[in-house]
Amino acid sequence: MGDIDKSDYKEFNDFIHAIDTEIEQAQIKLVCAANVQMFLTSPLGHPKRISKNIRQKVWR
């Protein structure tokens, strides 16, 4: 185990960092998509209801 040089360790560390970054970006995209979906399915978030509420001045 002592014959592993530092360059192999750095390559592996860079690889793990790249995977971590990809997972983080996927999580952000998932959360954003879920937020949009929740907004569009909420009573005030549906586009038709938004225009209706603006006309009725129901916004609080």
The verdict on residue 29 lying in a domain is yes
Residue type, 48: K
Number of domains in the chain: 1
Rounded to two decimals, the pTM is: 0.56
DSSP class per residue in 4-60:
--HHHHHHHHHHHHHHHHHHHHHHHHHHHHHHHHHHHHSTTTSHHHHHHHHHHT---
Do residues 40 and 46 touch, judged by C-beta distance below 8 A? yes
Residue labelled with tokens 């750095």: 10
Model confidence over 16-43: pLDDT tens digits? 999 999 999 999 999 999 988 887 776 6
The verdict on residue 1 lying in a domain is no
Q: What pLDDT, on the 0 to 100 scale, is given for residue 35?
A: 86
Q: What is the average per-residue pLDDT within 35-59? A: 68
**Which structural domain, as residue segments, surrounds residue 29?**
6-56
What are the structure tokens assigned to 19, written together? 């995977």
